[in-house]
């Protein structure tokens, strides 16, 4: 670990706890900062706050007091989920107090180089693929960030013999200053999280932050078939490595119907890739490029792409019952992600969808509606999904919850059908997370299979 001295004896506010805030507070304390933590959850119910108080930190819980910043803090480290519209952060901007997210702290203390992976869709799959491809490479991979362990905790123990493979959200990237991965990946950019970001431009800028500090010694792997990415990438100072999923290309990494190519030369056959769909081909190409650049053996890369069946909650195969296949894609919190899942299936699909209303359009699904036998929908977006289905002559059935929708989907299904949970909506109306929603679907499938 790099024992940075710039924060020693500095007053630092950690705003918002959970795992990342707690890890950041503990690291700042270890680095010699005078740490105050502030979390909206009451102290009596706040295990993280109680833990930090015992370690000697100042703890303020239950609200964000108006005079919170009067202590004269020189830095704020915020939980990524707290928007910049928060009054404390707005006041901090006026006072010109720097605002980081925990990932910036992790970068500064790390001895290991970093692969930083972001994008609207595919981050988790790409991150997992890269880590598995590097398992037998010259550097031992450690997974951190949005998945796996909090980045600060990973960076604390990482050495120069490691490489930190980090999934990065736009929320995390907005709070970075010096972050500079040696390899950055942007899988794709679509309209998303506009309930957090002020507009699409801010969201795109946040994603591109992963490469803003890179130089010609670093590499950005990016989706060259997206004009918005291709145009912005050309303005960066990094070395560019594009990927193309539609046809062979002499630049970067590409694929056609038969082969995956590295700089125009055949690398491995397309049929070796187990993950279905064009969206997963994006993930595989980006991961393969990163792994090759770090020195992973081609045999390990091929073994990974031929056996990797997906990440939990991301077009995850759950099981088979009476010749029906069940897939959990609970991570699909917008229509673009659901569209990507639908692209991967040639069988008829009964779609389970619905959730938190964020007023996203469902129009991305239109080209794939002919393959959908019915939509069983639930949650806040249920009414709009019903209207959308009716407008396009698709059978649709409204339900209060996922369990009832699942029962109807099974009833409607026939042999060789796919029952797919891909909600095209966030989970927060009925679930604390998409993981909990996906776990319920897995439980329902397991119960069904157990009954025979």
CB 82 within 8 A of CB 107: no
What does the alpha-carbon distance between residue 448 and residue 452 come to, in Å, rounded to a whole number?
Answer: 7
313: pLDDT strictly greater than 70? yes
Of 88-97, 186-195, 229-238, 343-352, the range with the lowest mean pLDDT is 186-195
Q: What is the pLDDT of residue 100?
A: 97
Q: What is the pLDDT of residue 196?
A: 67
DSSP string, 171-195: HHHTT-SS---SEEEE----S--TT
> How much is the mean pLDDT over the chain?
94
What does the alpha-carbon distance between residue 109 and residue 102 come to, in Å, rounded to a whole number?
Answer: 11
Q: What is the pLDDT of residue 190?
A: 82
217: pLDDT strictly greater than 80? yes
* Selection from 16, 25, 24 nearest residue 56 by Cα: 25
Look at the chain and count its residues.
Answer: 452
**Nearest 5 degrees, angle CA 266-CA 270-CA 273?**
125
Q: What is the pLDDT of residue 194?
A: 62
The pLDDT confidence band at residue 55, using thresholds 50, 70 and 90, is: very high
Q: What is the pLDDT of residue 279?
A: 85
Domain residue spans of the chain: 11-97, 104-307, 316-451
Q: How large is the average pLDDT for residues 69-77?
A: 96
CB atoms < 10 A from the CB of 170, how many?
24
What does the alpha-carbon distance between residue 283 and residue 127 come to, in Å, rounded to a whole number?
Answer: 9
Tokens of 203: 């969201």
Of 1-15, 48-62, 332-346, the range with the lowest mean pLDDT is 332-346
The single residue listed with the structure tokens 């469902």 is 362
Q: What is the pLDDT of residue 195?
A: 64
- Between 311 and 59, whose confidence is greater? 59
CB 304 within 8 A of CB 269: no
Q: What is the pLDDT of residue 58?
A: 97
193: pLDDT strictly greater than 70? no
The pLDDT confidence band at residue 435, using thresholds 50, 70 and 90, is: very high
Q: What is the pLDDT of residue 365?
A: 97
Predicted structure pTM score: 0.81
Which CATH class, in words, describes the domain spanning 104-307? Answer: alpha beta
Q: How large is the average pLDDT for residues 303-325?
A: 91
CB 63 within 8 A of CB 87: no
Classified by CATH at the fold level, domain 11-97 comes out as: Rossmann fold (3.40.50)
The pLDDT confidence band at residue 7, using thresholds 50, 70 and 90, is: very high
> What confidence tens digit (pLDDT) does each residue in 254-278 have?
999 999 999 999 999 999 998 888 8
Which CATH class, in words, describes the domain spanning 316-451? Answer: alpha beta
The pLDDT confidence band at residue 425, using thresholds 50, 70 and 90, is: very high
What does the alpha-carbon distance between residue 5 and residue 398 come to, in Å, rounded to a whole number?
Answer: 58
192: pLDDT strictly greater than 70? no
Of 140-149, 176-185, 319-328, the range with the lowest mean pLDDT is 140-149
CB atoms < 10 A from the CB of 213, how many?
18
Q: How large is the average pLDDT for residues 184-200?
A: 79
The pLDDT confidence band at residue 66, using thresholds 50, 70 and 90, is: confident
Q: What is the pLDDT of residue 450?
A: 95
Q: How large is the average pLDDT for residues 11-38?
A: 96
Reported as type and span, the H/E element at residue 259 is: strand 259-262
352 DSSP β-pair partners: 376, 421
324: pLDDT strictly greater than 80? yes
Q: How large is the average pLDDT for residues 116-129?
A: 93
Q: What is the pLDDT of residue 343?
A: 87
């Amino acid at each position: 670990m790099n024992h940075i001295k710039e924060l020693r004896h500095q007053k630092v506010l950690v705003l918002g706890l959970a795992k990342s805030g707690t890890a950041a507070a503990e690291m700042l304390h270890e680095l010699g900062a005078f740490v105050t933590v502030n979390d909206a959850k009451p102290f009596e119910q706040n295990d993280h706050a109680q833990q930090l108080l015992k370690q000697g930190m100042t703890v303020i819980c239950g609200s964000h007091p108006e005079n919170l910043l009067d202590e004269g803090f020189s830095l704020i480290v915020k939980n990524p989920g707290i928007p910049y519209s928060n009054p404390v952060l707005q006041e901090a901007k006026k006072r010109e107090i720097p605002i980081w997210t925990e990932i910036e702290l992790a970068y500064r203390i790390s001895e290991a180089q970093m692969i930083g992976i972001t994008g609207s869709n595919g981050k988790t799959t790409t991150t997992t693929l890269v880590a598995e491809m590097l398992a037998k490479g010259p550097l031992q991979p450690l997974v951190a960030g949005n998945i796996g362990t909090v980045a600060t905790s990973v960076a604390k123990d990482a050495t120069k013999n490691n490489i930190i493979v980090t999934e990065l959200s736009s929320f995390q990237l907005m709070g970075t200053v010096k972050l500079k991965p040696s390899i950055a990946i942007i899988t794709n950019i679509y309209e998303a999280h506009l309930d957090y970001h002020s507009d699409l431009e801010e969201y795109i800028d946040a994603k591109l932050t992963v490469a803003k500090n890179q130089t010609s010694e670093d590499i950005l792997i990016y989706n060259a078939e997206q004009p918005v990415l291709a145009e912005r990438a050309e303005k960066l100072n990094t070395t560019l490595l594009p990927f193309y999923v539609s046809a062979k290309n002499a630049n970067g990494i590409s694929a056609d119907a038969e082969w995956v190519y590295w700089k125009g030369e055949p690398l491995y056959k397309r049929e070796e890739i187990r993950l279905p769909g064009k969206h997963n081909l994006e993930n595989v190409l980006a991961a393969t490029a990163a792994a090759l650049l770090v020195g992973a053996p081609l045999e390990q890369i091929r073994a990974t792409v031929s056996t990797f069946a997906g990440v939990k909650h991301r077009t995850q195969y759950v099981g088979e019952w009476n010749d029906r296949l069940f897939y959990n894609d609970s991570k699909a919190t917008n229509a673009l992600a659901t569209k990507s899942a639908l692209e991967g299936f040639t069988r008829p699909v009964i779609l389970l969808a619905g959730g938190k209303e964020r007023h996203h359009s469902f129009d991305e699904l239109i080209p794939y509606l002919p393959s959908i036998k019915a939509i069983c929908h639930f949650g806040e977006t249920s009414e709009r999904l019903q209207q959308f289905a009716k407008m396009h002559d698709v059978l649709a059935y409204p339900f209060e919850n996922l369990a009832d929708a699942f029962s109807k989907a099974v009833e409607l299904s026939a042999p060789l059908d796919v029952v797919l949970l891909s909600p095209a909506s966030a989970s927060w109306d009925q679930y604390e997370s998409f993981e909990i929603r996906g776990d319920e679907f897995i439980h329902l499938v397991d119960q069904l299979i157990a009954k025979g």
